[in-house]
Structure 1
């Protein structure tokens, strides 16, 4: 695997991108290695291990390591290259696996990362064994329990990362805040329904807590806290993180409506079928004229959102101007985030990484 220690001596754009790519690969490898070892510890010789020892490593291996990358870049805002810090940052990939496993159960998602979601895999296994009872119920229960395991393993990986006690003590409050905020945001999203159309500010609050902060801001703050960065750096990272986090979620919402299933790994228009009050849906409702709003109300009243309804809803979002407007909001936030990277506060390698990650988060197609 490529070294991640070349960023400071190879300042070209190509080298900086290569450093980040190698960082993501190494973070994912660390998380995968830890989860694979824990799966062997817990499931070897047991009946449930038949599937668990395969499914768990596969699930972890499909990630993009975005949160660990932000955490490690946060660390590099005040700390040197460190294998221990990289392992600590990589623990956030297991935290993300916890969130995905349980989010898919709550949303009834069929796919995750191009494969059947965990609860689908376990439901199929139940059926293949010819067991009594509900296969679907078994699958949901098993996926929830494996989500709990990912949560436990994330903390264990952080604790056993090799960082000293003083560094960890600075990081624990940020780590706890991130976990709690994620759960509270998920609950807020659970009660959110497109048929009620929350206000734009209410929606932003939910998006920040559920995804934006958890994806960008909190990992950055967590890594910077581990490194002992001062309040000025933490404040600047918070501003940057909130902007990029919102833009990231806006892009995610666009992909949930218009994304290519072959690229995203999710069914086309799934957010519309689930009637999610996503940013693009709420914005379309606000920008719709009287005729468009009447059509939107008609779509919302349908008992089932089929393929034809998804197509109509997409056209409405486009003709209302919401798709283009959300694209403008993404670009505005990305530009502001890059402008917020003060060279007086951040080492050059960290500033460069933050700039590249801002673009990567807001121009992604999956």
Structure 2
């Protein structure tokens, strides 16, 4: 068992103040350090070259952090369902989610050809540099792609190992595993639908929403909430309410990500701006803009936003950004984010969660969706 101290989950008289979602995010870092150290030790025992080139890079990538929203939402799900006492299983589940996220990001960057992640070169870019520096044979791109796929696979293996170990020591191991299996399948399905839509040039709003729900809404919020609630033995009513809350918050999160991808600051997002537009990624934002352009007979906007077989030049990306503004797509998506965030809070309240965890969840939704405090509330 990893060395995570028991944590009080209820503020009884004379008890310590309960750990918050923010504290859980910090605490999961300690769990991750132990998991990564153990994984690196196993990798070195298998092969030192593999440990240095692959396992070492996976560990460094995970240690660079990220928002760790999934851990925070897992904590909120546990607390909403009455979770209290020893939080070890919750933190270990959060750590498993962070490892799964590492797998998803490493593979996603390969599929999208993204050069940056978390403010540093994407893993496949770093591996290509290694190939060139070592003067290996073959092409750096082919080597880096293959090695990055293996790196993502290793992160997934570490995630599955940790979740399985956690389930074996929990009285709620079976429901925990069911949520985990469902989440992994949805994540892969969403990734494939994303690839399929790009390859077929499909850009419908319904398809974009399907991809967003599979790839982001369930994976980022709904399933983490349910994973945490499962560890507290939540019933069907509470789980349904939490999944509904997670779906709304997750869709809002993805819509915000779409906006940041088109208009964000790379210094803040840690990834290039405009890449989704450059590659014609089938985002909800782009699909909404195309529909609005067609409805308003804005032929110029419809033409520049239409799916294409090749990457767009910088000047075309700028014209696409202007079309997103002119058609009203940016404003409409902003409004939808606020609506979804409010709906998420109402569903979360219906789970029976106490006022303290409702406030924590509201703060997380605000952080994830970028909605100003005066625009979000349970009465939205």
What's the TM-score once normalised by structure 2's chain length? 0.87
Aligned twin of 2:303: 297
Shift of 1:20: 2.5
Q: 1:49 to 1:243 in 2, by over 3 A?
A: same
Deviation (angstroms), 1:130? 1.0
Q: Does 1:254 align with 2:248?
A: no
What is the Cα deviation at residue 53 of structure 1?
5.3
1:284-337 Cα distance to aligned partner (Å, 9 max, x none)? 111115663334324645844111111111001001100000000000011111
Contact 2:221–2:246 (CA under 8 A) maintained in structure 1: yes
Does the Cα contact within 8 Å between 1:28 and 1:63 map onto a contact in 2? no
Gaps of 5+ in 1: none
Question: 1-side partners of 2:300 and 2:201: how far apart?
Answer: 15
Provide the rounded CA distance (Å) in 2 between the counterparts of 1:326 and 1:340: 21
Displacement of 1:74 in angstroms is 1.2
Matched, 1:226 2:235: no
User: 1:237 — aligned with what?
Assistant: 242
Q: How does 1:335-346 map to 2 (within 5 A)?
A: 335-342=342-349, 345-346=352-353
Please point out which of 68, 73, 80 is paired with 2:84.
80
CA distance 1:4–1:261, change in 2 (3 Å) = farther
Q: How many residue pairs were aligned?
A: 358
List structure 1 runs of 4+ shifted beyond 6 angstroms: none
Instruction: Select which of 147, 152, 156 maps to 1:147.
Output: 152
Counterpart residue number, 1:42: 43
Decide whether the 8 Å contact of 2:116 with 2:272 is kept in 1.
yes
* Aligned CA-pair RMSD: 2.6
C-alpha change, 1:194 and 1:122, in structure 2 (3 Å) is: closer
Displacement, 1:69?
A: 1.6
- 1:227: how far off? 1.6
Tell me the residue number matched to 2:377.
none
Name whichever of 290-299 and 219-228 sits farther off: 290-299
**Where do residues 52-131 of structure 1 align in structure 2 (5 Å cutoff)?**
52=54, 54-61=56-63, 62-76=65-79, 77-81=81-85, 82-131=87-136
Residue in 2 that maps onto 1:307: 314
- 1:30 aligns with 31
Which 10-residue stretch deviates more, 36-45 or 316-325?
Answer: 36-45
Find the aligned partners of 2:289 and 2:117 in 1 and give their Cα distance.
27
In the alignment, the residues of structure 2 paired with residue 129 and residue 150 of structure 1 have an alpha-carbon distance, to the nearest angstrom, of 25
Residue 162 of structure 1 and its aligned partner are, at CA, apart by 7.7
Residue 49 of structure 1: CA displacement? 2.9
How far 1:70 sits from its partner (Å)?
Answer: 1.1
How many angstroms apart in 2 are the aligned matches of 1:239 and 1:167? 22
Report matched runs for 1:148-187 at 5 Å: 148-161=153-166, 164-187=169-192
- Give the 3 Å change call, closer, same or farther, for CA 167–299 of structure 1 in structure 2: closer
1:138-189 CA-partner distances (Å, limit 9, x unpaired): 1111111111111111111122338634321221111000001100111001
Q: Which of 325, 329, 351 matches 1:322? A: 329
Distance 2:107 2:371 in 1: 24
